[in-house]
């Protein structure tokens, strides 16, 4: 492509409006400089009241990624042993014919469930992310149980409130105390800071941060609370103990809006600040002072993140945190309550995108290996290693997986229990097609690699998770080379495989238009004019003033974990052992003599999961895989700055460079992630250490809950 901008291109320079497509709760509304077919600087829209003109640095320099010399631009066929990296270009027709033939072969040999379409949120566009399900349903392929990210957090929130929504996230700007709990927004969702900092400036509202290390967000905190990993439930209980004991509980609110308040108060009697101090590592005074501040501040806004739920007790801890505003009644006030995600407010009609109307069709009742008619199985995303390795229980009673179709995700870097993941992908009898923008470690294991468009190169629509906007992302430029969108690939495969649904005969634009209209949100053209749509529910609904989302309207202080309203194929993990009231549930991987450290694999600021590990700007900032370790722990191990260390869990071992850091508790180590395996000396990445055993009650991976040992290499 011509690197020089021609006069004609300069004269066509314009601003395009879009949404950031990445897997980030902020879903920023973007203004993108465009000249000809190239994008330039990317800025946050000032007219969007959540984005408020601010975006993260990695997306501001998106031109680096969009016009990267390593972008995939041609279909490729493997031309050497699996994983050798040897590929040769082929035509789209050849590539799609091979994929269709292999899928038919897998189906003929083992039934349709032997094919597993596997995707995630590399793009959050509703059509490009979820359209793959239409093919899954039309063919009766194994369904995809999405679990890796949100399940512990969402189920924990829904366990109490009954619905996944909450006060308007912009109300942080009108809070008198903002608590940023178990999330690192300076790195992972920058706009949260915009609103919290505004409250600090305009109202003198302090910012409290609960984390396990001095994250970039904790560095900006007025009240830093550094706890041991997986102990948030203990902290929340002790806070509520003080609230009850010192008269800060709003008993009238509790009587009207909650169940089991008296039993809860009795349960908390033993959860003293001293008890929590021993578990969390905070002093009893710190806990008491913090509880009193919460008690004295009606407008206390808790912004609860995902990070603290990536532990084996994560759902219990999320629920415990949401009980705090229930005890104080803070939910009632503007700038008060707890917010995690707004996913429940959008109410999309996704029948066209996902082909959910096919779910009652004949294909859906495919026969399983025992010949009995039933719905195709749902396979657990997080357990892809065990599934590909053919572990019987992970296969949920169906055949082995013989073919994978992958879009928008990179499991050979990001999935837990990585040794199994890699062994599974290395299977000679597994056919893999990966549709990607770059030659990721997953694409490198494929038999066929297909080049994908980026968000500026196709039409789609996006919803906020951490805000309340629906934002359009129309096609703004032509894709490079032969890149095709996810939708185009799914439709082309459907045609070859004889899968029928009207969605396969429509353009992405038509599907977006239909979906907007069917959901009562106008049309494509209208949204093209407005760019984004604020769908924030009214104050009473958002603050649960009409009651929480249960038949009796009452918040559940004592949830029925077996009946949490989160859709999943059954329950996962030790559900029966879950504590009935909020508590410190001691199922985490506590340190032992053999594995004396607790490892947290927190996100790196300049990467987004494994994305941006290819861009020079992000690589320069992150430098190389490192392990943050307390200086005294480092000294005790004879480890100095820049020494190579080996970190081992029961699941494997990884090498990184040590960085002594005093913003940690002793016994806790942090590796900001996720570097590709191949960027680690020795070729094994951080997810070699993490486990895929499901978090109760609805699955997910405890990515920040790892006991490890650390040793100097050499």
Ligand X SMILES: Nc1nc2c(c(=O)[nH]1)N[C@H]1C(S)=C(S)[C@@H](COP(=O)(O)OP(=O)(O)OC[C@H]3O[C@@H](n4cnc5c(=O)[nH]c(N)nc54)[C@H](O)[C@@H]3O)O[C@H]1N2
Q: Which residues bind Mo ion (CB under 5 A)?
A: 149
DSSP one-letter string for 106-136: HHHHH-GGGEEEEE-TTS--HHHHHTHHHHH
Question: What is the pattern of x (binds ligand X, CB under 6 A) and - over residues 688-707?
Answer: --x------------xx---
User: 414 is in the binding site of which of ligand SF4, ligand X, Mo ion, none (Cβ under 5 to 8 A by kind)?
Assistant: ligand X
SS3 30: strand
Sole binder of ligand X in the list 212, 239, 353, 403 (CB under 6 A):
212
| Cβ-contact 73, 483 below 8 angstroms | yes
User: 143 is in the binding site of which of ligand SF4, ligand X, Mo ion, none (Cβ under 5 to 8 A by kind)?
Assistant: none
CB of 64 to ligand SF4, least distance (A): 14
CB of 549 to Mo ion, least distance (A): 24
DSSP one-letter string for 412-481: HHHSSSHHHHHHHHT-TT-EEEEEESS--TTGGG-SEEEEB--GGGS-EEEE-SSS-EEEEE---SPPST
Sole binder of ligand SF4 in the list 142, 151, 189, 409 (CB under 6 A):
189
C-alpha torsion angle, residues 251, 257, 260, 262 (rounded to 10): 0
User: 602 is in the binding site of which of Mo ion, ligand X, ligand SF4, none (Cβ under 5 to 8 A by kind)?
Assistant: ligand X
- At residue 46's C-alpha, the angle toward residues 543 and 6, to 5°, is 145
* Interface with ligand X: number of residues (CB under 6 A): 60
| Cβ-contact 307, 691 below 8 angstroms | no
Question: What is the pattern of x (binds ligand X, CB under 6 A) and - over residues 283-312?
Answer: ----------------------xxxx-xx-
CB of 257 to ligand X, least distance (A): 26
Sole binder of ligand X in the list 172, 320, 516, 602 (CB under 6 A):
602
Q: Does 463 bind ligand X (CB under 6 A)?
A: no
Alpha-carbon distance of 23 to 463, in angstroms, equals 11
Alpha-carbon distance of 713 to 657, in angstroms, equals 10
Sole binder of ligand X in the list 213, 257, 264, 339 (CB under 6 A):
213
Q: How does strand 460-463 pair with strand 469-473? A: antiparallel
Nearest residue to 32 via CA among 53, 18, 49, 21: 18
C-beta of 145 vs 290, nearer to Mo ion: 145
Q: How far is CA 571 from the centre of its chain?
A: 20
CB of 516 to ligand X, least distance (A): 20
Q: Does 179 bind ligand SF4 (CB under 6 A)?
A: no
CB of 463 to ligand SF4, least distance (A): 12
User: 341 is in the binding site of which of ligand SF4, ligand X, Mo ion, none (Cβ under 5 to 8 A by kind)?
Assistant: none
> Position of tokens 């992972």?
188
User: 55 is in the binding site of which of ligand X, ligand SF4, Mo ion, none (Cβ under 5 to 8 A by kind)?
Assistant: ligand SF4
User: 20 is in the binding site of which of Mo ion, ligand X, ligand SF4, none (Cβ under 5 to 8 A by kind)?
Assistant: ligand SF4
Question: Given the rule CB under 6 A, which of 46-54, 403-411, 425-433, 493-501 is the region that contacts ligand X?
Answer: 403-411
CB of 439 to ligand SF4, least distance (A): 22
Q: Does 193 bind ligand X (CB under 6 A)?
A: no
Which residues in 19-38 contact ligand SF4 (CB under 6 A)? Answer: 20, 22, 24, 26-28
CB of 368 to Mo ion, least distance (A): 31
Question: What number of residues does the chain have?
Answer: 714
C-beta of 328 vs 342, nearer to Mo ion: 342
DSSP one-letter code for 611: B
| Cβ-contact 55, 20 below 8 angstroms | yes
Question: Given the rule CB under 6 A, which of 187-195, 271-279, 365-373, 632-640 is the region that contacts ligand X?
Answer: 187-195
SS3 609: coil
Nearest residue to 470 via CA among 408, 529, 516: 516
Q: Does 687 bind ligand X (CB under 6 A)?
A: yes
Q: Is the peptide bond before 659 cis (omega within 30 degrees of 0)?
A: no
Sole binder of ligand X in the list 23, 441, 513, 622 (CB under 6 A):
23
User: 175 is in the binding site of which of Mo ion, ligand X, ligand SF4, none (Cβ under 5 to 8 A by kind)?
Assistant: none
* Interface with ligand SF4: number of residues (CB under 6 A): 12
CB of 710 to Mo ion, least distance (A): 26
CB of 149 to Mo ion, least distance (A): 3
Sole binder of ligand SF4 in the list 32, 52, 56, 443 (CB under 6 A):
56
C-beta of 149 vs 591, nearer to Mo ion: 149
For 281-348, the three-class secondary structure string (H helix, E strand, C coil) is CCCHHHHHHHHHHHHHCCCEEEEECCHHHCCCCHHHHHHHHHHHHHHHCHHHCCCCEEECCCHHHCCC
Nearest residue to 100 via CA among 505, 497, 436: 497
| Cβ-contact 305, 184 below 8 angstroms | yes
Give the CA distances from residue 142 to residues 251, 375, 379, 423, in Å, rounded to whole numbers and listed in that order. 49, 9, 7, 21
CB of 706 to ligand X, least distance (A): 9
> Position of tokens 């026969």?
367
Alpha-carbon distance of 384 to 535, in angstroms, equals 36
Instruction: Spell out the residues 6+ positions from residue 520 whose beta carbon is closer than 8 angstroms to its own.
Output: none
Instruction: Spell out the residues 6+ positions from residue 699 whose beta carbon is closer than 8 angstroms to its own.
Output: 145, 147, 151, 380, 382, 568, 572, 573
In the complex, residue closest to Mo ion by CB: 149
DSSP one-letter code for 383: G
C-beta of 26 vs 536, nearer to ligand SF4: 26
User: 211 is in the binding site of which of Mo ion, ligand X, ligand SF4, none (Cβ under 5 to 8 A by kind)?
Assistant: ligand X
Rg (C-alpha) for the chain, rounded Å, is: 25
DSSP one-letter code for 631: H
Q: Does 474 bind ligand X (CB under 6 A)?
A: no
CB of 7 to ligand X, least distance (A): 32
For residue 641, the tally of other CB atoms under 10 A from its CB is 12
> 434 - beta bridge partners?
406, 449
Alpha-carbon distance of 615 to 604, in angstroms, equals 14
Q: Does 144 bind ligand X (CB under 6 A)?
A: no
C-beta of 281 vs 399, nearer to ligand X: 281
CB of 415 to ligand X, least distance (A): 7
User: 37 is in the binding site of which of ligand SF4, Mo ion, ligand X, none (Cβ under 5 to 8 A by kind)?
Assistant: none
C-alpha torsion angle, residues 406, 408, 410, 416 (rounded to 10): -90
Sole binder of ligand X in the list 123, 194, 300, 463 (CB under 6 A):
123
Q: Does 43 bind ligand SF4 (CB under 6 A)?
A: no
Question: Given the rule CB under 6 A, which of 271-279, 423-431, 434-442, 548-556 is the region that contacts ligand X?
Answer: 434-442
Which residues in 595-614 contact ligand SF4 (CB under 6 A)? Answer: 608
Which parts of this chain interact with ligand SF4 (CB under 6 A)?
20, 22, 24, 26-28, 55-56, 59, 189-190, 608
Which parts of this chain interact with ligand X (CB under 6 A)?
23-24, 120-123, 128, 148-149, 182-184, 187-189, 210-213, 215, 227, 229-230, 232, 305-308, 310-311, 407-410, 414, 435-438, 440, 452, 486, 600-605, 607-611, 673-674, 686-687, 690, 703-704
């Amino acid at each position: 492509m011509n690197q020089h901008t021609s006069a004609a291109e300069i004269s066509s320079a314009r601003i395009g409006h879009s949404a950031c497509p990445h897997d980030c709760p902020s879903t920023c509304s973007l203004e993108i400089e465009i000249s000809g077919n190239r994008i330039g600087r990317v800025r946050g829209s000032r007219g969007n009241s959540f984005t408020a003109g601010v975006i993260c640095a990695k997306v501001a320099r998106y031109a680096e990624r969009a016009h990267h010399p390593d972008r995939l631009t041609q279909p490729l066929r493997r031309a050497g042993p699996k994983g050798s990296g040897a590929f040769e270009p082929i035509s789209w027709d050849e590539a799609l014919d091979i994929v269709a033939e292999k899928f038919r072969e897998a189906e003929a040999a083992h039934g349709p469930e032997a094919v597993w379409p596997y995707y995630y949120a590399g793009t959050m566009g509703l059509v490009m992310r979820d359209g793959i399900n239409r093919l899954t349903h039309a063919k009766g392929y194994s369904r995809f149980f999405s679990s890796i990210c949100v399940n512990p957090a969402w189920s924990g929130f829904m366990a109490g409130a009954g619905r996944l929504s909450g006060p308007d996230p912009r109300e942080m700007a009108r809070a008198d105390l903002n608590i940023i709990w178990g999330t690192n927004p300076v790195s992972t969702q920058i706009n949260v800071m915009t609103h919290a900092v505004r409250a600090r400036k305009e109202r003198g509202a302090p910012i409290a941060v609960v984390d396990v290390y001095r994250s970039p967000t904790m560095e900006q905190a007025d009240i830093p609370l550094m706890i041991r990993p997986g102990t948030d439930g203990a902290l929340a209980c002790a806070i509520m103990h003080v609230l009850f004991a010192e008269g800060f509980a709003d008993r009238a609110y509790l009587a009207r809006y909650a169940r089991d308040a008296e039993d809860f108060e009795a349960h908390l009697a033993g959860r003293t600040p001293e008890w929590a101090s021993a578990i969390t590592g905070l002093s009893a005074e710190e806990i008491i002072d913090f509880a009193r501040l919460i008690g004295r501040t009606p407008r206390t806004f808790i912004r609860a993140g995902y990070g603290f739920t990536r532990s084996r007790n994560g759902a219990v801890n999320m629920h415990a945190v949401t009980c705090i505003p229930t005890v104080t009644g803070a939910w009632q006030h503007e700038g008060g309550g707890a917010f995690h995600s707004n996913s429940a407010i959008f109410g999309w009609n996704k029948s066209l995108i996902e082909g959910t109307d096919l779910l009652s069709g004949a294909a859906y009742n495919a026969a399983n290996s025992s010949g009995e008619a039933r719905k195709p199985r749902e396979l657990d995303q997080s357990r892809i290693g065990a599934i590909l390795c053919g572990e019987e229980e992970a296969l949920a009673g169906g055949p082995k997986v013989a073919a994978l179709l992958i879009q928008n995700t990179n499991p050979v870097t990001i999935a837990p229990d990585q040794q199994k993941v890699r062994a599974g992908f290395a299977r000679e009898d597994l056919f893999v097609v990966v549709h990607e923008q770059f030659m990721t470690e997953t694409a490198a294991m494929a038999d066929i690699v297909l080049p994908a468009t980026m968000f500026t190169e196709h039409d789609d629509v996006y919803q906020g998770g951490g805000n309340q906007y629906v934002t359009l992302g129309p096609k703004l430029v032509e894709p490079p080379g032969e890149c095709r969108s996810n939708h185009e690939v799914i439709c082309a495969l459907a045609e070859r495989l004889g899968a029928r649904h009207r969605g396969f005969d429509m353009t992405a634009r038509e599907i977006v238009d239909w979906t907007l209209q069917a959901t009562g949100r106008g049309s494509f053209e209208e949204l093209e004019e407005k760019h984004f749509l604020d769908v924030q529910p009214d104050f009473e609904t958002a603050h649960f003033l009409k009651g929480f989302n249960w038949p009796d309207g009452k918040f559940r202080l004592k949830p029925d974990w077996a009946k949490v309203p989160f859709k999943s194929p059954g329950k996962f993990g030790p559900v029966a052992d879950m504590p009935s009231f909020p508590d410190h549930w001691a199922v985490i991987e506590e340190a032992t003599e053999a594995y004396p450290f607790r490892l947290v694999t927190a996100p790196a600021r300049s990467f987004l999961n494994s994305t941006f590990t290819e861009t020079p700007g992000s690589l320069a900032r992150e430098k190389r895989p490192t392990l943050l370790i307390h200086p005294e722990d480092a000294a005790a191990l004879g480890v100095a700055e820049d020494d190579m260390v080996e970190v081992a869990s029961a699941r494997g071992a990884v090498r990184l460079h040590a960085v002594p850091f005093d913003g940690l508790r002793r016994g806790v180590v942090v590796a900001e992630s996720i570097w590709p395996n191949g960027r680690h000396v020795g070729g094994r990445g951080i997810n070699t250490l993490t486990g895929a055993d499901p978090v109760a009650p609805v699955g997910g991976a405890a990515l920040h809950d790892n006991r490890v040992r650390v040793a100097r290499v050499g």
